[in-house]
Amino acid sequence: MSKKIAILGSTGSIGTQALDIISKFSCFQVKALSAHSNIALLNEQIMKFKPECITITDKDSYKNFFNQYKHNIKVYSGTEGLKEMISSLDVDIILIAIVGIAALEITYYALSQGIDVALANKESVVAGGELVTSMAQKTGANILPVDSEHSAVFQCLQGCTDKREIENIYLTASGGPFKDHDILELKKVTANEALQHPNWDMGDKVTIDSSTLMNKGLEVIEAMWLFNVDLDKIKVVIHPQSIIHSMVEFIDGSFLANMAMPDMRIPILYALSYPKRMPTGIKLNLYDVGTLTFEQPDFERFPCLRLAYEAAQIGGTMPTALNAANEIAVQKFLAGSIGFTDIPKLIEKVMNYHLNDIIYNPSIQNILDIDRTLKEMLR
């Protein structure tokens, strides 16, 4: 097997872990990379992986790149450049590890070209679930989930040819650092406390989202679209050990679960090597783990989870509003300008405000406009 791949967002948390794991195998050929502004790291990656072309999406970083580095490769700039690069590429799969709503356009474009996508970006599916899944269906391109929970569900569904056999999908959540915190004391927790994630190594935004359970809320919406199941069949279960990455309950009462060490390199590699599996050397020792536990999530402690279900239920552009409001709320919390319990309050306010402006069956432009307008209003 030889696979030609492009990694978009190669200097971020997922991008660097992807390059780390694929560097262990000779069958992957990195044809293209993209980064927003971390040109120093991008330069190192170019020397190591020798792509044919790159894109730098930040305009100033694009200019600085030419002043600082000399590479004999094609360099594109901006989101338009990313699309140009994709259309010129001959690749088997594109890993989309770009952070934020900007990835929606790119995911949609790659799928429209019939290219398989390993999708690490949540916003593309949360805000544009209907658009990207119907485009994938139209062109026959595959969306391979990279998010660990969705990779787990995807793996549990291998061999399931009739989705009516699915009774429930259980997304596991670690519960974050405040699972057992005094609920009345939650309003006093600091950004530093929230940034201590017990099991996963992630960026700041996702770590805060894990502590509020908004991350799981967004993943519920993601699962609804990726697996085309009703919202009421997607459940969340608190599983503090983060060994089971998600489960599928079937109509006969059987559960299938995916277990592994909480290491993103496993789901990343599975998406890139699918349908094959490859040796990662990342071993789970069951004797060391000992006990696995499960708890029901507390919607009062974690209002963000309730808001995400509500946004999914309402549909249209409400998940876009939920996501935009959450992004700004998290930024404000990290900057110390609002408290931890203000995060869901701000999101709920924005959702109520957006109720009058919902667009059903939105275009990509509708989604991007609503995202931008709400963020400008909240900043």
Q: What residues line the site for Mn ion (CB under 5 A)? A: 147-149
Shortest distance, position 269 Cβ to Mn ion, whole Å: 16
Which residue number, 54 or 213, has a Cβ lying nearer to Mn ion?
213
Which residue number, 8 or 213, has a Cβ lying nearer to Mn ion?
213
Shortest distance, position 200 Cβ to Mn ion, whole Å: 8
Shortest distance, position 133 Cβ to Mn ion, whole Å: 18
Shortest distance, position 327 Cβ to Mn ion, whole Å: 17
Distance of CA 260 to the CA centre of its chain: 19
Shortest distance, position 120 Cβ to Mn ion, whole Å: 9
Shortest distance, position 150 Cβ to Mn ion, whole Å: 7
Shortest distance, position 175 Cβ to Mn ion, whole Å: 13
Shortest distance, position 218 Cβ to Mn ion, whole Å: 9
Which residue number, 115 or 272, has a Cβ lying nearer to Mn ion?
272
Which residue number, 105 or 147, has a Cβ lying nearer to Mn ion?
147
Q: The tokens of 108 are what?
A: 């949609």
Shortest distance, position 210 Cβ to Mn ion, whole Å: 8
Question: φ, ψ for residue 255 (rounded to 5)?
Answer: -110, 140
Query: Which residue sits closest to Mn ion, CB atoms considered?
Result: 147
Which residue number, 147 or 263, has a Cβ lying nearer to Mn ion?
147
For the stretch 49-77, what's the b/e string if a residue is b when 16 or more beta carbons lie within 10 angstroms of its beta carbon? Answer: bebbbbbbbbeebbeebeeeeeeeeebbb
Cα separation of 59 and 52, whole Å?
20
Which residue number, 45 or 323, has a Cβ lying nearer to Mn ion?
323
Which residue number, 148 or 366, has a Cβ lying nearer to Mn ion?
148
The one-letter amino acid code at 320 reads T
Mind spelling out the 3-state secondary structure of the chain? CCEEEEEECCCCHHHHHHHHHHCCCCCEEEEEEEECCCHHHHHHHHHHHCCCEEEECCHHHHHHHHHHCCCCCEEEEHHHHHHHHHHHCCCCEEEECCCCCHHHHHHHHHHHCCCEEEECCCHHHHHHHHHHHHHHHHHCCCEEECCHHHHHHHHHCCCCCCHHHEEEEEEEECCCCCCCCCHHHHHHCCHHHHCCCCCCCCCHHHHHHHHHCHHHHHHHHHHHHHCCCCHHHEEEEECCCCCEEEEEEECCCCEEEEECCCCCHHHHHHHHHCCCCCCCCCCCCHHHHCCCCCECCCCCCCHHHHHHHHHHHHCCCHHHHHHHHHHHHHHHHHCCCCCCCHHHHHHHHHHHHHHHHCCCCCCHHHHHHHHHHHHHHHC
